[in-house]
């Protein structure tokens, strides 16, 4: 993924080199780092590559979502809607991923809004494909789900730490 | 023009061209539909082979080799008998003779029920109506034999790639919704086709075995017809009995209650055991809606329309449900709490 595709339909006519690039991007993502090259090659054949223009919305908070995105190129802003306006939570760059809760949440409601800051290439991995992997390649799905639960667990711990920090700050100020 | 609108326009043109291809060349529509059916049936087997560590293409080659071997074996043992039974049935022209018998009853029946239409040529008319819009259905056998396995192989091997190609054309704002709906529709149709074919096979097998045990002539052909017609919801069992009724009007060997009991038993087992277990869970449509869709299918597509009516109705239902959910269902739903309830939190606060 050395340069942005310029032609409107470039993503329709991909070559082997492109697939190798895609595999290497997927391998560098925490969720898929335990997969074998063969499994990565299979995964790169089922994920979707989407190109977003600057300020184009990837998804809105409370939208029904069905999968996660990996930032292959560019940057995206994660925002949360509040009565006082949008709050910028973070900015994600190349190699980061978001929306992974939709892979396991049965109600699939997005918890934040994501918008591309610049022209970005995102790789989408969706729940129906994860379910298909669980059926046809159970070993591969176990690896993905284990990584997914580790990531979700770690994010929960980080959130708990942040909350404790905030709570102690509030107590101190009171 | 806006980039997303341009993508939407190109997608629409691609879909129209695809549908147009099937309309302009109807010869490939039927093998393609059959291929979809076979691909749906083979998919679980291919997934099972993939679970064992075989690549998809190797699994397909293995399945197709085994399939051809099995087809040749069945042909060697059954086709001769089925074709001789079929020719015997045709040569006796039961339909004309049955119509003639009905015509002789015309005067007597109209004396009692004058509002009924005349019976002359009724059965031949029914046959014409059923098969009118599907004239090539059973005629272009060679083309079918050639194209169906090829389409099936391509669908199983490249079907997902073709779908990806279509999804890549979908503009970003509609991508996730269209992806979710399409996957849901495909899953629903595939499950329905698998369930109906299993049901039809079991009914055909039961009728064939029952008639063979009763030593009834044309047992295999009649069983096959009962199985095939069973695919049509609700009306199928009646259509399956029609050939026996026609033959019984002419042939005294069919004046036997045991034949009726075979059909009755097979349909009862289907109605009370097979249908509730295998099919009913998959088709969550009201019976009235199913009957209406079958009637509409018959009007616009003949026998093929009747068979395709329920999957199409099911697709419409999924699309309508998605629209309803997007427009009317509130997005913030109450989720059951996983964290401790409020009183417990208050207690913890008091402790600190």
Indicate whether A172 belongs to any domain: no
Average pLDDT score over residue span B22-40: 84
Q: How many CA atoms lie within 13 A of A165 on its CB side?
A: 6
Q: Which residues of chain A have pLDDT under 70?
A: 1-20
Contacts of B332 in chain A (CB under 8 A): 62, 109
Residue B25 in 3-state DSSP? coil
Indicate whether A48 belongs to any domain: yes
CB of B349 within 8 Å of a chain A CB? The answer is: no
pLDDT for residue A1: 44
Query: Residue for token digits 């008639």?
Result: B211
CA-to-CA dists, residue B141 to A16, B37, B221, B293, angstroms: 40, 17, 18, 29
Residue A57 in 3-state DSSP? strand
Which of A48, A57, A63 lies nearest to residue B167, judging by beta carbons? A48
CA-to-CA dists, residue B277 to A1, B236, B271, B317, angstroms: 50, 18, 10, 22
Inter-chain contacts counted by CB atoms under 8 A, chains A and B:
59
Indicate whether A3 belongs to any domain: no
Q: How far apart are CA B256 and CA B193, in angstroms?
A: 34
pLDDT for residue B273: 81
Indicate whether A112 belongs to any domain: yes
Residue B236 has pLDDT above 50, yes or no: yes
pTM, two decimal places: 0.72
| DSSP β-ladder status, A67-73 and A76-82 | unpaired
- The answer to whether the CB atoms of A138 and B175 lie below 8 A apart is no
Cβ proximity of B191 and B212 under 8 Å: no
User: In this predicted model, what pLDDT tens digit does every residue of B271-304 receive, in sequence order?
Assistant: 888 877 777 666 677 778 887 888 888 788 777 7
Indicate whether A139 belongs to any domain: yes
Mutation site, A36, A46, A114, A128, interface B, largest B CB count within 10 A: A128
Contacts of A48 in chain B (CB under 8 A): 164, 167-168, 175, 179
Average pLDDT score over residue span B141-147: 75
A34 is in which domain, residue-wise?
Answer: 9-164
Q: How far apart are CA B236 and CA B230, in angstroms?
A: 4
Mutation site, A126, A134, A164, interface B, largest B CB count within 10 A: A126
Provide the CATH number for the domain around residue A48: 2.60.120.10
Mutation site, B48, B51, B160, B172, interface A, largest A CB count within 10 A: B172
Indicate whether A169 belongs to any domain: no
Taking CA–CA distances from B46, the nearest residue in chain A reads A136
CB of B333 within 8 Å of a chain A CB? The answer is: yes
Residue B191 has pLDDT above 90, yes or no: no
Q: How many domains does chain A have?
A: 1
Residue A126 in 3-state DSSP? strand
Indicate whether A171 belongs to any domain: no
User: In this predicted model, what pLDDT tens digit does every residue of B48-92 receive, in sequence order?
Assistant: 888 888 888 888 998 899 988 888 887 777 766 777 777 666 665
Out of A29-38, A106-115, B8-17, B136-145, least confident range: B136-145
Indicate whether A30 belongs to any domain: yes
* Interface ipTM: 0.79
Contacts of A59 in chain B (CB under 8 A): 176
């Amino acid at each position: 993924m050395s340069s942005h595709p310029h032609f409107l339909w470039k993503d329709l006519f991909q070559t082997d080199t492109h697939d190798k690039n895609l595999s290497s991007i997927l391998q560098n993502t925490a969720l898929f780092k335990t997969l074998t090259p063969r499994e990565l090659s299979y995964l790169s054949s089922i994920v979707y590559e989407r190109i977003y223009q600057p300020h184009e919305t990837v998804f809105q908070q409370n939208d029904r979502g069905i999968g996660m995105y990996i930032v292959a190129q560019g940057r995206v802003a994660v925002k949360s809607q509040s009565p006082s306006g949008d709050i910028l939570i973070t900015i994600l760059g190349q190699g980061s991923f978001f929306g992974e809760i939709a892979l396991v949440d049965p109600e699939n409601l997005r918890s934040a809004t994501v918008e591309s800051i610049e022209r970005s290439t995102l790789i989408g991995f969706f729940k129906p494909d994860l379910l298909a992997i669980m059926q046809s390649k159970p070993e591969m799905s176990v690896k993905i789900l284990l990584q997914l639960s580790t990531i979700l667990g770690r994010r929960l711990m980080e959130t708990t730490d942040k909350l404790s920090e905030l709570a102690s700050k509030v107590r101190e100020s009171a | 023009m806006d980039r997303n609108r341009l993508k939407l326009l190109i997608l629409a043109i691609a879909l129209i061209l695809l549908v147009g291809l099937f309309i302009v060349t109807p010869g490939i529509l039927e093998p393609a539909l059959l291929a979809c059916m076979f691909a749906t049936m083979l998919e679980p087997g291919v997934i099972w082979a993939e679970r064992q560590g075989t690549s998809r293409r190797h699994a397909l080659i293995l399945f197709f080799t085994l399939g051809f071997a099995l087809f040749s074996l069945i042909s060697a043992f059954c086709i001769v008998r089925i074709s001789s039974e079929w020719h015997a049935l045709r040569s006796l022209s039961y339909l004309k003779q049955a119509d003639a018998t009905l015509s002789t009853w015309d005067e007597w029946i109209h004396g009692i029920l004058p509002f009924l239409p005349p019976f002359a040529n009724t059965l031949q008319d029914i046959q014409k109506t059923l098969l009118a819009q599907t004239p090539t259905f059973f005629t272009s056998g060679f083309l079918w034999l050639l194209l169906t396995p090829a389409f099936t192989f391509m669908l199983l091997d490249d079907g997902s790639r073709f779908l990806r190609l279509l999804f890549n054309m979908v503009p970003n704002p509609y991508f996730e919704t269209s992806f979710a709906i399409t996957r849901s529709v495909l899953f629903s149709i595939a499950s329905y086709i698998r369930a109906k074919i299993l049901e039809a096979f079991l009914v055909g097998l039961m009728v064939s075995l029952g008639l063979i045990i009763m030593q009834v002539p044309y047992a295999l052909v009649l069983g096959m017809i009962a199985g095939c017609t069973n695919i049509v919801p609700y009306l199928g069992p009646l259509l399956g009995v029609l050939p026996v009724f026609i033959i019984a009007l002419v042939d005294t060997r069919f004046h036997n209650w045991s034949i009726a009991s075979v059909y009755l038993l097979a349909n009862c087992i289907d109605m009370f055991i097979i249908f509730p277990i295998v099919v009913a869970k998959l088709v969550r449509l009201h019976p009235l809606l199913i009957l209406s869709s079958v009637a509409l299918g018959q009007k616009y597509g003949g026998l093929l329309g009747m068979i395709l009516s329920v999957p199409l109705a099911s697709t419409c239902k999924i699309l309508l449900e998605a629209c309803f959910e997007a427009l009317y269902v509130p997005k913030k739903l109450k989720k059951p709490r996983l964290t401790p309830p409020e009183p417990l939190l208050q207690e913890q606060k008091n402790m600190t």
